[in-house]
Structure 1
């Protein structure tokens, strides 16, 4: 169950990093507005990744944390 969350977080953060690198490494050469739009999308991903990583799964045992 924790591996699933880590995997989702890793995928989302990799997508974020890929968008930033792609936007300013390659896309800006053709379209600056598109690069800026990609960065705005990438900036919205980390909070979504944090929410996803901290969300409890239905099979989590939340009542007996120690």
Structure 2
């Protein structure tokens, strides 16, 4: 069963990303260390592979920035 957008958002919030609003089904997230990310789709929509990959990259970037 594919993951849902809701699960990605939960993962982002756990990594200290903050929702900065959005428009329609688009949500903008920002981390205090810099990375910005836009997630699109309804909360119960399936996650696209590119979204999953992008979230992993941005979370890793935020952790790398913390170490500096």
TM superposition score category, shorter chain reference: 0.3 to 0.5
TM-score by length of 1: 0.37
For CA contacts below 8 A with separation 6 or more, give which structure has more relative contact order.
Answer: 1
Which structure features the higher share of helix residues? 1
TM-score by length of 2: 0.37
Which structure features the higher share of strand residues? 2
